[in-house]
Amino acid sequence: IDTWVQIVSGGRSNIKPEALPWKALKTLLGVSVYGSRIDRDFDQRLLETYIDRLFGPHVYSLGHSLADVDGGGLTLPSGHTHAEFADWVHALPNTETPEWLGLPGDSHRLLQARTGREILRKLSQLQNVMEDFPRGGEGEAREILGEAPCRPLWAGRLVDILSEWSEGLQGKGAITPVQSSEGDPVLQALHREATALNTLLDEVKKDLVELIDICHGSRKPTNRHRALTRCLSKDMLPTEWSRFLCMPGMTVGAWIADLGQRATAMETLCKVKPSDYHRVHFHLGLMLYPDAFITATRQAIARSFKLSLESLELVLDIDSDHGASRGYSIVGLTLEGAAFIGGCVQLQSSHALGSELPPVELSWRKRDDMQLQHRTMRFPLYLNTARTVVLCQVPLQVDPAVPKHTWYERGVCMVAWHGD
């Protein structure tokens, strides 16, 4: 960078900001310094937004604000030398506000709360390990796994928890899958969903019953039982049950309750006639494979109107009249970082992280028929609040008074499942 500036300056002590090699600087910052391209498009777009906003001749304009902060903006000094700018940097506070990144001012509280919950979860797991497992040798380890006639205190505690989980799943399962039809992709997707959920429910309930018997000493454990016991005693989800993506760090009790909710939702859907699918609500967050369902709706509409899949564009209509529609009503969605008010997305004025959306209509329309207005932006629809899995991109109308970069910096998105 110093070499580039020296070449451009030609030995002068100062130059105009417009003369600096901004394009080269942005490329260097966005690729080499950061560490190559980011895998997720939305994160890459956020990085490019920061670079475009903070690196350019416009930042040296008199009164230009680098960040909007309550009580005033963050502006560069009026000096012209390197020393003056260095003094300004050193005078900045050691603890910066999240507003410098375009986030709400109370974002740090949310991060601290999330960190606190994670610390408590890990301490709880550590406490379970320290209290429940004896420090003896191999003989005591065999005793824990049910191979000794006497039942340790640890097994007594675990059997109570296992019984509670098992009771929570009583009556769940035996879901009658909707009859699959080659001509209805949505029907096929729900059939696969119900079949997979049935299999998982049967496996979990069977494991719980067998583990209870082992704790009572009436069954000899296998390697699978030992692996399950090690995970469950630490309140960690066993890999043997991990058939769908859930919230990171989710406790086993919360996962069992979540599985019961999924079973209840699927039982309800399996009782609906396929001709009535446009009159019921679908909860994407409670599906094992929501991306497959979204794809199936696209295929169904393409077949109905004899269109190619590539010619269709996803639409989520929040102010739709679901009774007169050929779309699918989706519930449980949350808009994070903003609120939907007056027919468009607007920034949140409260301290809430997000706002729950009413039932929205998911449909697909021909790209040529899409009348996307100038102030329409595409936001990601994530599977859950971990924001690791993007289900699709959703075009929504936004407040025209808000700059485009603000939406990216706020991390505005939609979430299908909070796991609460």
Q: What is the CATH number of the domain that holds 236?
A: 1.20.1270.280
Joined together, the tokens standing for residue 389 give 């899995």
Q: Do the domain assignments include residue 162?
A: yes
pLDDT in tens, 291-305: 999 999 999 999 988
194 and 289 in a common domain: no
Q: What is the dihedral of CA 254, 255, 258, 264, to 10 degrees?
A: -120
What's the CA gap between 179 and 270, in Å, rounded? 9
Domain co-membership, 302 together with 398: yes
| Pair 154, 213 in one domain | yes
Q: How many Å apart are CA 98 and CA 252, to the nearest integer?
A: 34
Q: Is residue 13 part of a domain?
A: yes
Distance CA 177, CA 267 (A): 9
Q: Is residue 47 part of a domain?
A: yes
Does residue 248 belong to any structural domain of this protein? yes
- The string of pLDDT tens digits covering residues 321-365 is 655 567 899 999 999 889 998 889 998 765 566 788 999 999 999
**Domain termination site, one of 214, 240, 271:** 271
Q: Which residues contact 407 (CB under 8 A, 6 or more apart)?
A: 338, 345, 377, 379, 398
Report the C-alpha gap between 287 and 295 in whole angstroms.
13
Do residues 327 and 258 share a domain?
no
Instruction: Please check whether residue 125 lies inside any domain of the structure.
Output: no
Higher pLDDT, 340 or 151: 340
- Whether 280 and 261 map to the same domain: the answer is no
10 Å CB burial of residue 42 (0-12, 13-18, 19+) is: middle
- 308 found inside a domain: yes
Residue 370 pLDDT > 80, yes or no? no
Please, which residues have CB within 8 angstroms of residue 159's CB and are 6 or more apart in sequence?
Answer: 212, 215, 216
CATH number of the domain bearing residue 59 = 1.10.8.720
**Cβ partners under 8 Å of residue 414, min gap 6:** 316, 333, 334, 335, 336, 357, 379, 380, 381, 382, 394
Rounded-to-integer distance, Cα 262 and Cα 194, Å? 10
Q: Please report, for the domain that includes residue 279, its CATH number.
A: 3.10.490.20
The answer to whether residues 97 and 147 belong to one domain is no
Whether residue 314 is found in the same domain as residue 415: yes
**Total domains present in the chain:** 3
Lowest mean pLDDT among 119-133, 179-193, 320-334: 119-133
- The pLDDT of residue 133 is 46
Question: Does residue 351 fall inside a structural domain?
Answer: yes
pTM of the model: 0.82
User: Angle of helix 223-233 relative to helix 107-132, nearest 10 degrees?
Assistant: 130
Q: Who has greater pLDDT, 111 or 93?
A: 93
Instruction: Determine the structural domain holding residue 14 and report its residue range.
Output: 2-103
- On whether both 266 and 296 belong to a single domain, the answer is no
Q: Where are the alpha helices (DSSP H) in 22-106?
A: 22-27, 41-54, 82-90
Q: Residue 233's pLDDT band (boundaries 50, 70, 90)?
A: confident
Token representation of residue 189: 């997707």
